[in-house]
Amino acid sequence: MATHGNKKKMTDQELMVKAIHLAKEKMLAGEGGPFGAIIARDGVIIAQGWNQVTSSNDPTAHAEIVCIRNACAALQSFDLTGYELFVNCEPCPMCLAAAYWAKLERIIYGADHNDAAAIGFADAFIYEELTLDKDKRSIQMQQLMVQEARDGLSLWLDLEQKVLY
């Protein structure tokens, strides 16, 4: 879904209008929730994405995740340094953390996570859960075989020819 060849330079406002429009269009087409995202650099679009959770049976298919995956596929890189994300609603913690992993430079958003909560989405709840101690969260978390797991991780340090990310 990356938009190649379109080298038109757009303003932040024009890119946000596009993200808002995408969200509406794809929601009305039955793709999923009302969320749309654009990734651009210097005002030039490299990829777009929209929520496809219900249409693709993928709870991770939020607009931003889809857009990051599309941008990385277009660039053949897992590193989006210098790129910017335009999205009609503040990213949930999944998508915000994905933006960090992708090394995005800037996030421009419209509505916020409380607005998402107001129309029935769990964004605010999940932000809240992540601040709680593990034993207070609604998902049960349990640690097991710590030393064996740590020993496994330490192999990474000795691995030669690894690609860092």
Q: Which of residues 122-161 bind a second copy (CB under 8 A)?
A: 122, 125-127, 129-131, 138-146, 148-150, 152-157, 159, 161
Q: How many residues bind a second copy (CB under 8 A)?
A: 91
Strands 84-89 and 106-111 come out as: parallel
Of 24, 41, 43, 44, which lies in the binding site for a second copy, with binding defined by CB under 8 A? 24
CA distance 12 to 18: 10
Counting contacts by CB under 8 A, is residue 37 touching a second copy? no
Tell me, residue by residue from 48 to 87, as one string, x for binding to a second copy by CB under 8 A and - for no binding: -----xx--xxxx-x--x--xx--xx-xxxxxx-------
CB 95, min distance to a second copy, A: 8
Phi-psi region of 76 (alpha: psi -120 to 50; beta: other; left: phi over 0): left
Positions 104 through 123 that interact with a second copy (CB under 8 A): 104-112, 115-116, 118-120, 122
Q: What is the CA radius of gyration of the chain?
A: 18
DSSP 80-117: -TT-EEEEEEPPPHHHHHHHHHHT-SEEEEEE-HHHHH
Q: Is 64 a residue of the active site?
A: yes
Active centre residues (catalytic): 64
